[in-house]
Structure 1
Amino acid sequence: MAARTAPFSRFEFMIAWRYLRARRAEGGVSVMTWISLIGIALGVAALIATLAVRAGFRAEFVSTIVGSNPQITVYSAPMEVAEGSGVYSKLIRDYAERTDRIKAIPGVVSAAPAVRGQAMVSFGDRSNVADVYGLALSDLKNIPNIAHSEDAQGDIDNYGEGIAIGIGMARDLGVTVGDTVKVISPNGAKTPSGTSPRVNAYKVSYVFSAGRYDIDQTRLYMPFKEAQSFFNREGGVDEIDVDVADPERIAEWEPAIMDASGKGTLLWTWKDASSSFLRALTVEDNVMFIILSILVLIASMNITSGLIMLVKNKGRDIGILRTMGLSEGSILRVFFLCGAFTGVIGTLAGLAIGVLFSLNIDHVMGFVNWLNGGEAWDPSIRGIYHLPAKLQPWDVTKAVTLSLALSFIVTIFPARRAARMNPVEALRYE
């Protein structure tokens, strides 16, 4: 009867390691081992790099949304200007009182009354459509991506002397700080003959980059009082822009803001505006994880092929070991360790490659851009200017755990086959 030995004894590791170091005559086993190892390493590296890029893209996209736009926008439902007049307006007339009440809510970082409108901006023979925000200087400074833009031109403190425009719009118009542009609104002064367009000239006092292509192409900020006059909003505003301490938990502040803002309040959050895109990103993340998991599984299956060949080549050794007293469990563990060694080494190599790739994504994309003539990443399609990567411990853990689990599972079948081999049959023709 075979003697019982402690599971995963030192001699089991020693035998498994010797079997993995196949001699030249058993080169087929060695080749299969290397194929398995390289396949697992590349699969794990691809999975880690993909998860890091997807996480970085989402984080960057959300950052440009909440850092350049109001996290909660307070509107007013259409209300009758005067009782019985039949004239309705969406303007918020008591905006100062509403803004103060909203600012008093715990967790509200800022609240700013704003005028919104559409206009055309022209310089020489060039023109562009602008999404105009009328904000006070103090409120503009509370917008992180605008006030602290790395590629900004000019001084934001000079904003009161002119307007601020996105760097994309400035590039399209061919203007820089100090140039004067014309801003044209179709809804201008009201005359007996109708509404005439309003055309005003403004100096460009500040050029910003919000980190988002679409914002930089269309966004224009105009001093608050000037915007009220330009868009016929005297005595009122179109909205109140609110930022909170934690944009991801935006729903927690909605009831309090509704109560503070009063009757007829309508709210629109950044999640409402981007919910479809964020859901699409989540679906893509799940699909990419499944696809790359299948690739890791395919690479792991090579371990099975290699172990089957190894078991066949080591049939005589298995018979001898069994006659020496090794139990079926010991044989199973020996060949399980052969596959596990390959899975662990391949996983660790893939982990190192994936982390290095993610940490150097800027250099990688620079090389890819060079190969493609600078067209590998188009911000007009992607929305942001570069491909970010964000290594998250949970993503790395998922990739490593998946690879190790698959490697261990696929090892069980050939290991059991080796353990159940009859030593008499193995040695019959020796």
Structure 2
Amino acid sequence: MASPRPFSAYEFMIAWRYLRARRAEGGVSVMTWISLIGITLGVAALIATLAVRAGFREEFVDTILGANAHSSVYYAPTSVYNDLTEETYTAPGRIEDADALAARIAALPDVVRATPVVRGQAMLSANDQNNVAEVYGVTLADLKAMPRIADPANSMGNLDDFGREGVNGIALGVELARELGVSVGDKVQLISPQGAQTAVGTTPRIETYDVVYIFSAGRYDIDKTRAYLPMPAAQAFFNREGVADEIEIFVKDPERVDALTPALMQTAGERALVWTWKDANGGFLRALTMEDNVMFVILSILVLIASMNITSGLIMLVKNKGRDIGILRTMGLTEGAILRVFFLCGAFTGVIGTLAGVALGVLFALNVQHVLDFVNLITGGGAWDASVRGIYELPAKLRAWDVAKSVLLSLGLAFVVTIFPARRAARMNPVEALRYE
């Protein structure tokens, strides 16, 4: 007579009957529920954490690439000897042939566009309020090409007024405009200590501009400090007539921007230096990656602890079912069949807990902003501070690999921890089990 195949229907039936609660075996039922709830919460926390971390990184990178150049070329300062004073001074690295250099860079493979830019710091003043601003001199076409800056859903004013003839316009970040107390149509003063050169020295320069556009880049630090001027106006204000401070470069694949650096250095000349968005933010992104790995390990330990409760429950179940095991062995069940029955008892708990955890984790990830709003409601606000986190809301992005990784981890741990008590049940001597029956 042939032996039944492994994991036959009767093995599933016996395992399922053993998992059902009985009043006399309440301890087993309690341990099963503790294991089930622990695995559910562990898997849900793992999925929710991975989704939030992935969403935060994607949003952070998107705000960087949507409002900044992917790479920039600038010249190093040079030492200049003055024959009249017989002194050597350091001259800033200005780019005199900026348009020609930008055209050569734009012709490189994988470069989408390259544009000269003037950069400088100045103080903005309005309504008796002052704030330091990072001022960029760009053209209207370049400003429109920045998706986070030119987004009409997160801006006020008419971007076409920027650089229009007869309009002395300036574009401000929303937080900068809020602190100055200005809106579209108001006037602000731009003040720089490095003004006009006169016979008695350098005098501060003060210019008045009309606020024609207010934008939100999605990053608190950008919205709080960033201002844009038309290129000619910025050159005149910062004494950069006919020159630029750097060439901003936008590429097809920002993640591979470092591969373009050698070509940029060769095209721009020996004095050229290259600074990419990864150079500016690489430390923070590496810290995020390390934190993701640490969080995964910590939450994996949480799932492991929950899975260990399966072992405790199965050991109690084996002890209570000693008589049943002896009867099943005398009826002809092999050690392998008994092992599989109790393995299935633990596996059922692991599978059900994992599926419930996936459902709860996905539900949390899809409604994370509503959860945060509820926390703000009961705590009085402040659960998410944009000035600390950089971005304005807590995003979440569900990725299939993150969910699969959580499921595989939970099921793997649940299956492994059931082997020891299942083997103990399979090796039980039926004679000893029935000795006192």
Short-chain TM bin: over 0.9
Alpha-carbon separation, structure 1, partners of 2:73 and 2:103: 13
Q: Which residue of 1 aligns with 2:66?
A: 67
- Residue by residue over 1:276-324, the C-alpha shift from the partner in whole angstroms, topping out at 9 and shown as x without a partner, is 1111111111111111111100100110011011101100000000001
Q: Which residue of 2 aligns with 1:371?
A: 378
Q: Which runs of 5+ in 1 are unaligned?
A: none
Q: Is the 8 A contact 2:127 2:181 kept in 1?
A: no
Q: Is the 8 A contact 1:53 1:389 kept in 2?
A: yes
Match of 2:13, as an amino acid?
Answer: M
Q: Mean Cα displacement is larger for which, 389-398 or 72-81?
A: 72-81
Question: Alignment partner of 1:146: what SS?
Answer: coil
Question: Alignment partner of 1:429: what SS?
Answer: coil
Specify which of 238, 243, 254 is matched with residue 245 of structure 2: 238
Q: Is the 8 A contact 1:185 1:199 kept in 2?
A: yes
Q: Which residue of 1 aligns with 2:358?
A: 351
Q: Which residue of 2 aligns with 1:255?
A: 262
Match of 2:248, as an amino acid?
Answer: D
Q: Is the 8 A contact 1:140 1:146 kept in 2?
A: yes
Match of 1:121, as an amino acid?
Answer: L
* Paired-residue identity, %: 68
Question: Alignment partner of 1:377: what SS?
Answer: coil
Q: Which residue of 2 aligns with 1:32?
A: 31
- Residue by residue over 1:359-382, the C-alpha shift from the partner in whole angstroms, topping out at 9 and shown as x without a partner, is 111111111111121210000000
- Residue by residue over 1:210-238, the C-alpha shift from the partner in whole angstroms, topping out at 9 and shown as x without a partner, is 00001000000000000001000011000
The change in CA–CA distance for 1:189 and 1:129 in structure 2 (over 3 A counts) is: same
Alpha-carbon separation, structure 1, partners of 2:301 and 2:76: 52
Alpha-carbon separation, structure 2, partners of 1:379 and 1:270: 21
- TM-fit CA distance, 1:275: 1.2
- TM-fit CA distance, 1:83: 11
- Residue by residue over 1:307-361, the C-alpha shift from the partner in whole angstroms, topping out at 9 and shown as x without a partner, is 0111011000000000011110000000000000000000000001001110111
Specify which of 273, 298, 314 is matched with residue 291 of structure 1: 298
Q: Which residue of 2 aligns with 1:393?
A: 400
Q: Which residue of 1 aligns with 2:94?
A: 91
Q: Which residue of 2 aligns with 1:406?
A: 413
CA RMSD of aligned residues (A): 1.5
Q: Which residue of 2 aligns with 1:327?
A: 334
Whether 2:115 is the aligned partner of 1:112: answer yes
Match of 2:76, as an amino acid?
Answer: A
Specify which of 180, 183, 186 is matched with residue 190 of structure 2: 183
Q: Is the 8 A contact 2:106 2:112 kept in 1?
A: yes
Match of 2:391, as an amino acid?
Answer: I
Q: Mean Cα displacement is larger for which, 87-96 or 240-249?
A: 87-96
Q: TM-score, normalised by structure 1?
A: 0.97
Q: Mean Cα displacement is larger for which, 205-214 or 366-375?
A: 366-375
Q: Is the 8 A contact 1:149 1:209 kept in 2?
A: no
- TM-fit CA distance, 1:262: 2.4
Q: Is the 8 A contact 1:115 1:133 kept in 2?
A: yes
Question: Alignment partner of 1:182: what SS?
Answer: strand
Aligned length: 429
Q: Which residue of 2 aligns with 1:156?
A: 159
Whether 2:369 is the aligned partner of 1:362: answer yes
Whether 2:281 is the aligned partner of 1:269: answer no
Q: Which residue of 2 aligns with 1:128?
A: 131
Q: Mean Cα displacement is larger for which, 78-87 or 373-382?
A: 78-87
- TM-fit CA distance, 1:22: 2.6
Question: Alignment partner of 1:150: what SS?
Answer: helix
Alpha-carbon separation, structure 2, partners of 1:84 and 1:23: 101
Q: Which runs of 5+ in 2 are unaligned?
A: none
The change in CA–CA distance for 1:180 and 1:324 in structure 2 (over 3 A counts) is: same
Alpha-carbon separation, structure 2, partners of 1:208 and 1:370: 28
- TM-fit CA distance, 1:25: 1.7
Question: Alignment partner of 1:42: what SS?
Answer: helix
- TM-fit CA distance, 1:80: 6.2
Q: Which residue of 1 aligns with 2:48?
A: 49
Q: TM-score, normalised by structure 2?
A: 0.96
Alpha-carbon separation, structure 1, partners of 2:24 and 2:10: 24
Please show how residues 161-240 of structure 1 align to structure 2 within 5 Å: 161=167, 162-240=169-247
Alpha-carbon separation, structure 2, partners of 1:311 and 1:271: 57
Match of 1:108, as an amino acid?
Answer: V
Q: Which residue of 2 aligns with 1:137?
A: 140
Match of 2:101, as an amino acid?
Answer: R
Q: Which residue of 1 aligns with 2:77?
A: 78
Question: Alignment partner of 2:418: what SS?
Answer: helix
Whether 2:387 is the aligned partner of 1:380: answer yes
Alpha-carbon separation, structure 1, partners of 2:363 and 2:82: 68
